[in-house]
Structure formats: structure tokens, C-alpha cells
Structure 1
Amino acid sequence: MSKKVPFEVGDTVSYTKTISESDVYLFAGITGDFSQMHMNEEFMKTTPYKTRIVHGVLTFALGSTASTLIQTQARSEMPSVSYGYDRLRFTRPVYFGDTVTAVYTITEVDQESLKSYAKVEIYNQNKELCVVAQHTLKFFEN
């Protein structure tokens, strides 16, 4: 008997986190991205943002956490891996201290290829969309 992708279209999960200054500095240390946009408050006062912003990729990474959570929620015994993200966009800046929510929603299930597709949307505490992407999960029969 063939196994099936453990999702249905519309399945969703969310993950919420307040992004702290230490989160940003730890991320910068891991990645080596010490851009003035993230590290230099005085410089940022001269920009349209007026203050430091969180790395877009750090905010986006919370979508990966939501991907893991939906797999845990499904309780599937089939192993899966991220097959990639498409159409990633940073639509609004995220600031230090913002509380963001990553919403991961299954939009398509391809049982033949054992893949699922999802939209990833990350909102700030004002319900403003900050990051969007499409994600593909690939499952394996074991």
C-alpha cells in the first residue's frame, strides 16, 4: 500500500515570536551579516525607516518553524524535507521588538509526486504582511 502526503488543502498552523535585539545580534553573528541596516541605530535615523530593522531572512526563517510545526501536527511517519521556497518577498520591514506571526497554509497536495505546497505569510502585530513565500515539502516512502 502506497503512503500519502499527510495534509489536506487548507490545513494551517501558525507560530508567533517577538523578535528581540539579541535575536538580531545572534543572527548577525551566525550569518556574518552586520549591515548598518541591522546594527547602526544612528545611521538608520538618517533613512526612511528611522530605526534598525530585522534581517528579512531572520523573519523569513520563522516560516520554516511553521513548516516544522505543521509536520509535527500531522503526525506522519513519512520523512520529509524542504524542497525549496519560491516567490519570497519582504513586503514590509520588521523592527526590533515587533511580534510576528508566521502562518503556513497548505494550498496543494500532489500525491503522485509526494509533495505538498503551501503559502507562507508572516505578519507583524498590526496584522501587516511583512514576508510572503511559497514552500514545497517533499515526502519519502520508507
Structure 2
Amino acid sequence: MKFRQIQYFFSQYQIGQLFKLETKFTEEDVKIYANLIKDFNPIHVDEQIASKSVFKQRVVHGILSSGLFSTLVGTNFPGAIYLEQSLYFKAPIFFEEQILAQVLIQDIKLIKGKSILKLDTTIFKLQQKIAITGEAKILIN
């Protein structure tokens, strides 16, 4: 009689683990990003036009800010593959504003010997006000 060997995968990651990055975006960061992706929306690059907007000043591109989630995944989950990311923009992020990006492991599923991690993704402004929130799924090789 042959017994099938069952292989258990013990992940170095656990539900509830939290990874953080504190930073701010400068005017130069926004200029470089705008030139890279060719998004010259005046709300980001024109101080005079932005001063007449609902925000009364220029704001950092939302996708540039949310790129911090990719930074956190890439540095804390080496070799991970991004599968999904939802984003909800709750408040603007201004130039030189200190922000805190974080990813929290919400769930881990094993599929065909691979780990799929579900992450809560959030960027906070001062006083814990949420600027961006969402969820991501990543594949751990």
C-alpha cells in the first residue's frame, strides 16, 4: 500500500502582520512622475489653477501615492506577484505632507502549494485620517 505524502507549507507570513512606510512627496517627485506618465493635470502641476480648485493647492497624483503599496509589497514580500489592487481615494495628499502607508495581512490561502495573501492597504495623513484605502492580493512564490 502506498501512502501519498502530504506536504505542509509553513509561511513566514501570518495574518495580522503589519508593514509600514512613512514618507512625503516633494514638488520634484510630482514633476518627475508627471513627466514619466505624461499626466500634466493642473491640479498636480499648476499652482495658480490648483489654488482655485476645491483643494486650494496642488495635490500629489493619487496613483503615485498608492504606488507606496507596491513599495511595501516589493520590500517585504520579495518575489511576490501583484494579482489585484482596489483603491478608494478619501482625502487629498499635499506636497511635503507626512503620510504613513501600511499593508496588513488579512488572510492567507494556500492554492497548489502557493500562498495567496489578501492585504488591507491604507495611507494615513496626520491624526490618522485616511487618504487612500483598499485591498490587494499577492502571490508568494
How far residue 63 of structure 1 moved from its aligned partner, in angstroms, is 1.3
* Equivalent of 1:65 in 71, 83, 95: 71
- TM-score for both structures, normalised by structure 2: 0.87
* CA-to-aligned-CA distance 1:83-103 (integer Å, 9 cap, x gap): 1212x1111000011111111
Alignment of 1:4-83 (within 5 A): 4-71=10-77, 79-83=79-83
Q: In angstroms, what is the RMSD of aligned CA positions?
A: 1.5
2-structure distance, mates of 1:25, 1:5: 40
Aligned residues: 133
CA contact (8 A) 1:123 1:130 kept: yes
Counterpart amino acid of residue 103 in structure 1: Q
* CA-to-aligned-CA distance 1:11-45 (integer Å, 9 cap, x gap): 11101111100010011011110101101111111
Q: Which runs of 5+ in 1 are unaligned?
A: 73-78
Corresponding residue for residue 76 of structure 1: none
1-structure distance, mates of 2:119, 2:43: 30
Counterpart amino acid of residue 37 in structure 1: I
* CA-to-aligned-CA distance 1:27-79 (integer Å, 9 cap, x gap): 1011110101101111111112111010000110011111223325xxxxxx4
- TM-score for both structures, normalised by structure 1: 0.86
Q: Which runs of 5+ in 2 are unaligned?
A: 1-6
2-structure distance, mates of 1:18, 1:44: 19
Identity across the alignment (%): 19
2-structure distance, mates of 1:67, 1:109: 15
1-structure distance, mates of 2:118, 2:12: 12
Larger Rg: 2
Task: Tell which has more relative contact order, 1 or 2 (C-alpha 8 A, sep 6+).
Answer: 1
